[in-house]
Amino acid sequence: MALNRRAPAVLLHTFVGLLLSCSVSYGTLTDIYCLKTIKASLEDSLQYLNTSWNFGNYSEGIICKFTGIECWHPDESRALNIRLSDMGLKGQFPRGIENCTSLTGLDLSSNKLSGPIPTDIYDRLKFVTSLDLSSNSFSGEIPLSLVNCTYLNILKLDYNRLTGSIPLQFGQITRLKTFSVSNNLLSGQVPTFPNGIVTAESYANNPGLCGKPLLNACKAPAKKSHTGVIAGSAVGGVTVTILVVGIVLYFVLRYCHPLRMAILNYAFSFSSLRPEAKAMEWPLRLKIGIGAARGLAWLHHNCNPRIIHRNISSKCILLDENFEPKISDFGLARLMNPVDTHLSTFVNGDFGDMGYVAPEYLRTLVATPKGDIYSFGTVLLELVTGDRETYPCG
């Protein structure tokens, strides 16, 4: 009987061990290929990359020792940040960077790079939070797809040869705290950012720019007939409505696609709706566990400002059609001070469903990152055992 009681604990221990030690060879190989392609696409006259980026073996963590590479974990070859500032690199925007699928930071500043910024840059850097391309010779227009990088906290494009206008949609990136396009050849109206986080210095030495916070106002459009004004107002109202609805739909589709489902609904309850469905195989459970762990780690350590979810449960971990996990349901989330790694945030205990709550919360009513870890452990138990967290007695 005691052996049976210990079985879930043994399974959980094994599962967590796999989470910690699994090499995730696919991720390792894609990141190595990413760096190989970057190295091949750049002219390295100062030999920074040629002397450090040696791909003699594919052992786990090898790329973490490369110059300019920061990994999620020192023993895992998955690049978190690529910092190649002031290395005398020549060429165009590096190829193959989309294969670094977990990349959140890219710094190519103070080099001799030229050519256009790729129009599909969002497809290459979907999760980027910091992008610094300043002090190069990039030319052409700022790609519109860059406004889809909604995780951006820092965007620096100053001291280049960029032309055209600045996409006004940059003002809708709510996480953006640092934005600079000074010393280019840009023209037109500048974006409007909330709370004045962007000053006139961010646009300096672009004579063709206008609008607040700059001193030169944009010229008003030519007057039109009243009919045109009425029609324009109507169209403008529709545009605003479509824009708002579009933003809402973007996040709904990103996190709540109809094909996505709570992990337990697929693994253990979905069979009642689809008789042909089978229980999850262990590699798939491991994939879901690793993906959810990465998402939670990103909320705690890489999101700016950082977030305590407070509501982690199997119901809020959604799967897409490829069974990639996405953490959703931030209704009870609380922000963490980005400079405080041990912040505890007071919460009200009357918010309803709190996910899998750590025992100490009932006593202190204080939410901490450790509480999220406790809740995630309960999710892992469900993945391992196939049981929900509670069952009625009898």
Q: What is the DSSP string of 252-293?
A: HHHH--TT-EEHHIIIIIGGGT-TT--PPPHHHHHHHHHHHH
Question: How many separate domains does the chain show?
Answer: 3
Domain presence at residue 14:
no
Statement: residue 141 has pLDDT above 90: yes
Please, which pLDDT band fits residue 375 given cuts at 50, 70 and 90? confident
185, 278: one domain:
no
b/e map 129-150, b = 16+ CB within 10 Å: bbbbbbbbebeeebbebbbbbb
pLDDT at 37: 94
230, 331: one domain:
no
pLDDT at 295: 78
199, 70: one domain:
yes
The residue range of the domain holding 235 is 221-255
> pTM for the whole thing?
0.57
| Mean of pLDDT over the chain | 73
N-term to C-term CA, the chain: 18
Please, which pLDDT band fits residue 148 given cuts at 50, 70 and 90? very high
292, 327: one domain:
yes
Q: Which of 4-18, 145-159, 215-229, 295-309 has the highest mean pLDDT?
A: 145-159
Domain presence at residue 41:
yes
Residue with tokens 């710094």, as numbered in its chain: 107
Q: Quote the CA–CA distance of 38 and 106 in Å, as a whole number.
A: 12
